[in-house]
Amino acid sequence: MRTFAFTRASSLEQALTTRRAEPASAFVAGGTTLLDLVKLDVMRPARVIDINALPLTLVERLADDRLRIGALVTNTALAHHPEVTANYPLLSQAILAGASTQVRNMATTAGNIMQRTRCPYFRDVAAACNKREPGSGCDARHGINRMHAVLGGSDDCVAVHPSDMCVALAAIGATLTLHGPRGEREIDFADFHRLPGTSPHLEHELADDELIVAVTLDPPLEPLGAAYIKLRDRASYEFALASAGAMLSLDEEMIGEARLALGGVATKPWRCHEAEAILEGQPADRAVFGQAADAALADAEPLSHNAFKIPLARQAIVRALRDAARAAKEGHP
């Protein structure tokens, strides 16, 4: 591991000023991605700026019924926060499906959004990887690509976005507040992560001299049923092969509003608007859920080792919709 300088920032301005003065620096909060990648020599910051002392740990309901979450709220605190368990059960379920208790205790809300891919070639400095080394190629395309994306990929990168929490954010709808030298700006969560295209090293819309300071959730659906289904190789501490987050509101047996997003199969948290349009106004039954799943996966393109992900994702979608409808009927989240 290479050595680096260390600064503990006591204010947002100090953190950003330090960053501007040394562009080869990196922010650290929980460290659950950064420290792994420093040890693997994938990330080589000259300075690490500790932002844990910044006052970004508040969860508050706003006057317009949205929920504002500070960037440094830990995944554990967020999953168990009473506002989240009562009104955003999909977010709670998705967070608790990820990582381990120990990791969730350290990982933060903004860090989860900013986490890097688990593509093994990205994490191996001897491999060709356009995301780590632009222009070097992509060893995953014709290598072992069982875990890779079937949606949103390009010739240059097919790495999956690894977050469970972000699947819930995509389904719920959220706004990110970014702080930089020109003050604060907001960006829709749906627009924050980029598709890889020809520049997979550009992963998001955050500028080098900005920090995420808050995530604000859209108002909750009512009455709401929600379910997160994550299918993976082992039952805990494992990334998704395919996951689906669903939220439904029901009027008797008919679907009112529907939200659906996928994880484990796409290069960014994947909202399924076409599937939602098929669901809304239809009976909450297996045939309709299957039609929605087919629509969600209509553009899926398998690689040499991951065709199995398409029927697997279909199963995850149908089960998530079924469980969300059941929860809505029974009157609990």
Residues that bind ligand SF4 (CB under 6 A): 117, 119, 121-122, 129-131, 138-140, 157-159, 200
Hey, is 210 helix, strand or coil?
coil
Least separation, in Å, of the C-beta of 173 and ligand SF4?
27
What is the Cβ-side half-sphere exposure of residue 139, based on CA atoms within 13 angstroms? 15
Least separation, in Å, of the C-beta of 201 and ligand SF4?
9
Cross-strand bridge partners of residue 26: 48
Q: Where are the alpha helices (DSSP H) in the chain?
A: 12-21, 34-39, 75-79, 82-87, 89-96, 101-106, 109-114, 165-172, 189-192, 273-279, 286-296, 309-330
- Give the angle subtended at the CA of 95 by the CAs of 252 and 179, to the nearest 5°: 110
25-28 and 242-251 as β-strands: parallel, antiparallel, unpaired?
A: unpaired
Angle between helices 286-296 and 309-330 (to 10 degrees): 140
- Return d(Cα 176, Cα 207) in angstroms, integer: 13
Taking the least distance from each CB to ligand SF4, the nearer of 82 and 135 is 135
Least separation, in Å, of the C-beta of 117 and ligand SF4?
5
Least separation, in Å, of the C-beta of 133 and ligand SF4?
9
Taking the least distance from each CB to ligand SF4, the nearer of 159 and 211 is 159
Taking the least distance from each CB to ligand SF4, the nearer of 126 and 287 is 126
Taking the least distance from each CB to ligand SF4, the nearer of 67 and 157 is 157
Under 8 Å between Cβ of 123 and 37: yes
Residue 222: count other Cβ atoms within 10 Å of its Cβ: 9
| Structure letter (DSSP) for residue 123 | T
Least separation, in Å, of the C-beta of 265 and ligand SF4?
14
Least separation, in Å, of the C-beta of 310 and ligand SF4?
18
Hey, is 92 helix, strand or coil?
helix
Least separation, in Å, of the C-beta of 131 and ligand SF4?
4
Taking the least distance from each CB to ligand SF4, the nearer of 51 and 265 is 265
Taking the least distance from each CB to ligand SF4, the nearer of 56 and 303 is 303
Least separation, in Å, of the C-beta of 331 and ligand SF4?
44
Taking the least distance from each CB to ligand SF4, the nearer of 138 and 262 is 138
- Return d(Cα 83, Cα 63) in angstroms, integer: 14
- Return d(Cα 174, Cα 331) in angstroms, integer: 24
What are the φ/ψ torsions at residue 78 (nearest 5 degrees)? -70, -45
Least separation, in Å, of the C-beta of 79 and ligand SF4?
28
- Written as six digits, the tokens of 306 are 């991951």
Taking the least distance from each CB to ligand SF4, the nearer of 46 and 125 is 125
Taking the least distance from each CB to ligand SF4, the nearer of 12 and 195 is 195
Hey, is 325 helix, strand or coil?
helix
- Written as six digits, the tokens of 19 are 């960053």
